[in-house]
């Protein structure tokens, strides 16, 4: 278990995995003709899916850390939160690039804004860009830790916007949304439940300590 945690916590391993996902799902099919009759449309869908799933992975890491604070594997994965989040933004930008090609250029992209789902996608992408740009120590120092954390909670809004964007674009197909929502909601509910149960226990321990100190006097 410790060895697995060391492997998962290795930055080179994380970087190789994040890049490897793109190579395996995008580059290899493109080179081998595995993207079908309309490769641009296929790339459009794949890049969007990867971006949403990576964003979902980032959102799952915080509650997992709260639920399993002593888990070395969870701690190792949490070291890569920023890298995964930035990767989600990169794949979202690739999704935008594929959409530009799919629409026939920038003029086609501008015309596509007549469709409501484009606005949701643009809003979600804008948030991801802001979060990616501020995913560094300089931004944390400049904004302050508390403000930085509040800013990065916009990731939840970005996820909702992008899932809705995908569902409308896919004519109401909520498959990805369901697969993301229920696990994330369950993790958050479990974290909140744990916090509610731990508060009385902490209060009891604090009272016991104060009582012990008072008796010692």
Closest CA to 123 of 164, 153, 82, 85: 164
Mean confidence (pLDDT) of the chain: 87
CA distance 63 to 199: 17
Expressed as residue numbers, the domain containing 118 is 2-216
In this prediction, residue 210 carries a pLDDT of: 45
pLDDT in tens, 115-156: 989 999 999 999 999 999 999 999 999 999 999 999 999 999
User: What's the number of domains the chain is made of?
Assistant: 1
* 159-125-11 Cα angle (round to 5): 75
Q: Is the pLDDT of residue 217 over 60?
A: no
51 Ramachandran zone, left/alpha/beta (phi>0; psi -120 to 50): alpha
Among 3-7, 59-63, 124-128, name the most confident range: 124-128
Q: What is the pTM of this model?
A: 0.85
| Percent of the chain whose predicted confidence (pLDDT) is above 90 | 63
């Amino acid at each position: 278990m410790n060895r697995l945690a060391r492997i998962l916590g290795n930055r080179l391993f994380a970087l190789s995995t994040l890049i490897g996902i793109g190579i395996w799902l995008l580059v290899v099919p493109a080179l081998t003709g595995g993207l079908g009759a309309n490769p641009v449309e296929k790339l459009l869908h794949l890049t969007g899916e990867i971006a949403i799933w990576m964003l979902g992975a980032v959102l799952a890491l915080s509650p997992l850390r709260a639920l399993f604070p002593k888990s070395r594997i969870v701690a190792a994965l949490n070291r890569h939160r920023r890298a995964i989040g930035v990767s989600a933004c990169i794949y979202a930008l690739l999704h935008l690039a594929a959409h530009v090609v799919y629409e026939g250029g920038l003029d086609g992209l501008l015309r596509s804004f007549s469709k409501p789902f484009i606005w949701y996608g643009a809003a979600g992408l804008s948030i991801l860009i802001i979060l990616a740009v501020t995913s560094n120590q300089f931004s944390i120092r400049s904004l302050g830790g508390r403000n930085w954390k509040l800013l990065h909670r916009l990731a939840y809004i970005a996820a909702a916007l992008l899932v809705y964007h995908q569902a409308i674009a896919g004519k109401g197909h909520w498959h990805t949304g369901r697969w993301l929502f229920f696990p994330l909601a369950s993790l958050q509910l479990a974290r909140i439940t744990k916090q509610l149960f731990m508060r009385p226990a902490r209060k009891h321990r604090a009272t016991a300590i104060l009582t012990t100190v008072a008796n010692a006097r």
